[in-house]
Amino acid sequence: MAEAKEKKQQRAPIETGAPDGFQYMHPTMRKNFGQWKWHDHPKPGVLRHASNSGDEIWTVRAGTQRILDVFTLRTLCDIGDKFADGFVRFTIRSNIEYMVNDASKVDPLIEALESEGFIVGGTKNSVAMISHTQGWLHCDIPGTDASGVVKAMMDELIDEFKNNDMPNRVHMTTSCCQINCGGQGDIAINIQHTKPPKINHDLVSNVCERPSVVARCPVAAIRPAMVNGKASLEVDEKKCICCGACFPPCPPMQINDPEHSKLAIWVGGNHSNARSKPTFQKLVAAGIPNNPPRWPEATAIVKRILSKYKEDAKDWERINDWIERIGWPRFFELTELPFTKYHIDNWRGGRKTLNSSTYIRF
Amino acid sequence: MKKHDTPMLDELENGPWPSFISGIKRLRDKHPEERINEMTNDLLGQLEHSYETRKGYWKGGTVSVYGYGGGIIPRFSEVGDAFPKSKEFHTLRVQPPAGNFYTTDILRKMADSWEKYGSGLVTFHGQTGNIMFIGSTSDATQHFFDEINEYGFDLGGAGPCVRTAMSCVGAGRCEMSNINEHKAHRLLVNNFIDDMHRPALPYKFKFKVSGCANDCMNSIERADMSIIGTWRDDIKIDQAEFKAYVDLKGRKYVIDNIVTRCPTNAISLNDDDSVTIDNQNCVKCMHCLNVVPKALHPGDDKGATVLMGGKRTLKIGDLMGTVIVPFMKLETQEDWDKLVEIAEESIDFWADNALEHERCGEMIERIGLVNFLEGIGIEVDPNMVGNPRESSYFRGDGWDGEAVKWYERADAADKGTA
């Protein structure tokens, strides 16, 4: 009987995959698909795209809290229905965009968004919304709460989000572990573990597939061991780089350390091919306290880097372009950050990051 | 219901940026559904506990819907006794429409379904590109999925499988678009839908599609297979618009910000303020088009560059994707079939040859690009390298045969038979 009931409840999924976005696209965009001719940027937070047909589409972009409650989602929908044409999209950095085909709709739309507390901006040479991961709210391996870090930082960077007076766009990311789900950024704020995992030997054999855990270690520092008569794992703490890669497949190898897990700041990651090939971000600061609820130490360093970049970089230089021009010694001098032995890369292939020339600025 | 004190989280309600904590509190205090009030109350309690102790308290597990093996991130609380109403707090990863387009109608429909079964918290989108419906009990996942699946939404990937893909706004709004980004996105990911829903690959595999080299989808650095729009004929120039820009900004600005920023010195400003581009040496980096979008446009002979192997740190360090197809057209059915075939060959070869938990780029790093190319049936091309080999240690006893192949391919290309 129970089995029959169970069977009745089972509904085969319809494996439709990624839906066609066309059905949700503004009619002006559908009509002009592939026919766009140019765009401009009438003011912060607003883009105008013009088509070969003469049609125009105006986009208003707004920052949100990313983790939306249904009330907020409905408020965004209400604004879309009342002040836009009912069509929206989300950017890769979780901003919402409203698209309208009439310039006169732009200002009332901005006013409606701002009166509900959303922040219009994030276009062109702004500090864009920080892309981030979930953190303590949901992740199983987080060393910090990226959502909280982002809220605290965006509170302080809000003017840079709303205006366009940086040399070029600034894409920031935060991540709650060294896997860096937030991704490469002009500035990235990531957790950095500084101590090897603490192992709960009573649990390892029940919870972890030991050979997989051994295989997961990037520096072969983990080996099987009998501890207190139980099959467990041990870590060669001299070899261990405290990356935390063993923690996801083996949670009894606790890497998160309330005292010793710190934040690190990386700069110069750039996804775009414009001007130079894409670049990975580089370490500039570590040992920063993981200090909830507002992480003031990390925000202060980010603001210092941004203010020097804004002051010193030329138009169109992203942070990586700027440092490429002025050199790393000058970067550390300007930002008053210490240069340490930890900045010198000793990972495989790291030698190519050294200066094999006499190019030195005096 | 006794509300948990949240003195630390309360600090995140200060300041001008919208607060996710205020949003969770709205669900706790104002939602008509008691289940949601209690669930979000305990969620806030656990989160406050994390803030106080600087530790996370979620662990994984196994939860899926009937017929699938993945698509849901299971979360069980390690402190569920203290916060029982949110002790199961799974996330459903749902694939967004290509290009992330929505109507307010469809968003309202999702909100209605989600508050019926879940916590009422949702993110557009997670870092892989999914709509993240955050906070469901094990029992509710099936009901919620059944409901949204009926109106056209499907779960994404989680675990060792083909993951949810991403594509930029593309031809929908952007003049820099060189391909139908959304078609590429859907074609690829929907072709591998079985590999997405039933995780059985060595590790994750991601597709990302950007319409131009600005790569707004971050595909080179984040996708196992990256498809980027480009063109191979001349940049289109509207000289009148260019002169207007020079007039507006001045010659010095144009020289300093366009001419000298060109990575291959392919652009020069003429004495009459018009512009000349050495198209043969232009690498389509997009910088000059970005600066003067009214005057400079992609050419007509559009297509895509395909790169393979991008990923973040775990395990051997960051890898960027590398070129495996310098240029391919994406217009005819045959073109699209070829793109899918490249993806199929790559995933098959990787599934057969990768170690457990080894990304495609890590496998290529381990076995060498040439072995990978031979495995998927693609010929070598100098566009695949930044420069040829530097190390003098190699075994070249097949050289003559390989040289002959090169000339044969060149002849075939001349005759148009390749």
The CA angle A136-A142-A144, to the nearest 5 degrees, is 70
Domain map (residue ranges) of chain A: 22-120, 131-194+259-346, 198-254
Class of domain B59-150: alpha beta
**Are the Cβ atoms of B100 and A69 closer than 8 angstroms?**
no
pLDDT > 90 fraction of chain A, expressed in percent and rounded: 94
Mean per-residue pLDDT of chain A: 95
- Name residues whose C-beta falls within 8 Å of residue A181's C-beta, 6 or more positions apart in sequence: A133, A175, B127, B312
Strands (E), B244-346: 267-269, 275-277, 296-297, 302-308, 322-328
Q: Pick the residue from chain B with its C-alpha nearest to A260.
A: B54
| Minimal C-alpha gap between B337 and chain A (Å) | 18
Q: Do B123 and A66 touch (CB under 8 A)?
A: yes
Q: Which residues of A touch B391 (CB under 8 A)?
A: none
Find all residues with CB under 8 Å of B304, minimum gap 6, and list them. B178, B179, B184, B227, B228, B229, B230, B325, B327, B328, B330, B339
Measured between beta carbons, which residues in chain A are less than 8 angstroms from residue B18?
Answer: 63-65, 72, 117-119
Q: What is the pLDDT of residue A178?
A: 87
Amino acid (1-letter code) at residue B51: Y
Both structure tokens of A301: 């360093």
Nearest by CB to residue B152, choosing from A16, A136, A212, is A16
pLDDT at residue number B314: 87
Strand pairing report for A282-288 and A262-267: antiparallel
Nearest to B108 among A77, A131, A215 (CB): A77
Do B236-297 and B59-150 have the same topology in CATH? Answer: yes
Cβ-defined contact of A278 to B60 (cutoff 8 Å): no
The pair of three-digit structure tokens given for residue B277, joined into one six-digit string: 């581009």
Residue of B173, B185, B302, B365 to mutate, interface with A, max A Cβ within 10 Å: B173
Of all residues in chain A, the one with the smallest CA distance to B108 is A74
Cβ contact (<8 Å) for A15 and B21?
no
Tell me how far apart the alpha carbons of residues B81 and A119 are, in angstroms, rounded to a whole number.
39
Which of A119, A178, A183 is opposite residue B127, by nearest beta carbon? A183
Q: Given B12, B111, B294, which is nearest A293 (Cβ)? A: B12
Q: Which residue has the tokens 């400003």?
A: B269
Contact with chain B for residue A8, Cβ under 8 A: no
| CATH architecture group of domain B166-232+301-387 | 2-Layer Sandwich (3.30)
- DSSP label of A116: T
Contacting residues of B for A21, CB less than 8 Å apart: 97-101, 172, 182
Q: Distance from CA of residue B149 to its chain's centroid?
A: 23
- Measured in angstroms, the CA of A202 and the nearest CA of chain B are apart by 17
A56 bridge partner residues: A50
So where are chain B's domains?
7-53, 59-150, 166-232+301-387, 236-297
- For residue B179, give the chain A residue with the closest CA: A34
Contact call for B17 and A151, based on CB within 8 A: yes
The per-residue pLDDT for A47 is 98
Do B27 and A69 make contact, defined as CB atoms within 8 angstroms?
yes
Alpha helices in A237-362 (DSSP H): 296-312, 319-326, 328-335
Torsion over CA: B19, B21, B24, B28 (sign): negative
Q: Which residue has the tokens 């990911």?
A: B189
The CATH number of the structural domain formed by A22-120 is 3.30.70.3340
pLDDT score of A8 more than 90: no
Q: Residues with Cβ < 8 Å from A53, sequence gap 6 or more? A: A31, A32, A35
Which CATH fold topology does A131-194+259-346 show? Answer: Sulfite Reductase Hemoprotein; domain 1 (3.30.413)
CA–CA dist B349, B344 (Å, integer): 8
Q: At what angle do helices A146-162 and B20-30 cross, to 10 degrees?
A: 120
pLDDT for position A273: 98
B101 and A72 within 8 Å at the Cβ level: the answer is no
Strand B131-136 to B225-231 pairing: unpaired
Per-residue pLDDT of chain B in tens (418 residues, 90 and over written 9):
999 999 999 999 999 999 999 999 999 999 999 999 999 999 999 999 999 999 999 999 999 999 999 999 999 999 999 999 999 999 999 999 999 999 999 999 999 999 999 999 999 999 999 999 999 999 999 999 999 999 999 999 999 999 999 999 999 999 999 999 999 999 999 999 999 999 999 999 999 999 999 999 999 999 999 999 999 999 999 999 999 999 999 999 999 999 999 999 999 999 999 999 999 999 999 999 999 999 999 999 999 999 999 999 888 989 999 999 999 999 999 999 999 999 999 999 999 999 999 999 999 999 999 999 999 999 999 999 999 999 999 999 999 999 999 999 999 988 876 5
In the predicted structure, residue A4 carries a pLDDT above the cut 80: no
pLDDT at A202: 95
In CATH, which of 3.40.50.2300, 2.30.30.40, 3.30.70.20, 3.20.20.80 is domain A198-254? 3.30.70.20
A198-254 and A131-194+259-346 share a CATH fold: no
Per-residue HEC secondary structure of A164-203 comes to CCCCCCECEEEECCCCCCCCCCCEEEEEECCCCCEECHHH
* Chain A, chain B: beta-carbon pairs less than 8 Å apart: 361
* Model pLDDT for residues A239-277, shown as the tens digit of each residue: 999 999 999 999 999 999 999 999 999 999 999 999 999
**Residues of A with CB below 8 A from B285's CB?**
273-276
The residue of chain B with its CA nearest to that of A346 is B317
Q: Which two tokens stand for residue A2?
A: 């129970």
Q: Which residues of B299-320 are buried (b: 16+ CB within 10 A; e: fewer)?
A: beebbbbbbbbbbbbbbbbbbb
User: Using one digit for the tens of pLDDT, what is the confidence trace for A24-60?
Assistant: 999 999 999 999 999 999 999 999 999 999 999 999 9
* A253 strand-pairing partners: A199
- Establish if A39 touches chain B: CB-CB under 8 angstroms: yes
Find which of B79, B169, B257 to mutate to test the A interface (most A CBs within 10 Å of its CB). B169
CA angle B378, B380, B386 (to 5 degrees): 130
Query: Which pTM value belongs to this model?
Result: 0.96
Pairing of strands B166-167, B207-210: parallel
Subunit contact B154:A14, Cβ cutoff 8 A: yes
Q: Burial, A211: exposed, middle or buried (Cβ in 10 Å; 0-12, 13-18, 19+)? A: exposed
Report the distance separating Cα B104 and Cα A86, nearest Å.
5
> Residue range A292-301: average pLDDT?
98
pLDDT at B415: 84
The answer to whether residue A229 neighbours chain B at the CB level (below 8 Å) is no
H or E segment and range at residue B139: helix B138-150
- The whole-angstrom separation of Cα B9 and Cα B260 is 49
Chain B hits for A77, Cβ within 8 Å: 104, 107-108, 111
What is the three-class DSSP state of B172? helix
d(CA B417, nearest CA chain A) in Å: 30
DSSP state of B354: P
Contact residues for B121 (Cβ-Cβ < 8 A; gap 6+): A67, A68, A69, B23, B24, B27, B40, B133, B134, B135
CA distance A228 to chain B (A): 25
Query: CB distance A64–B18 less than 8 Å?
Result: yes
Residue B252: Cβ within 10 Å count:
8
Residues of B in contact with A183 (CB under 8 A): 127, 218, 221-222, 312
First vs last Cα of chain A: how many Å apart? 85
Residues 181-200 of A with CB under 8 A from B: 181-184
User: In angstroms, what separates the C-alpha of A32 from chain B's closest C-alpha?
Assistant: 7
User: Which residues lie below 8 Å from residue B213, measured CB to CB, with a gap of 6+?
Assistant: A272, A273, A274, B228, B229, B230, B284, B285, B286
- Domain B236-297 sits in CATH 3.30.70.20: yes
CA torsion, ordered A35, A41, A43, A44, to nearest 10 deg: 100
Q: What is the pLDDT of residue A1?
A: 45
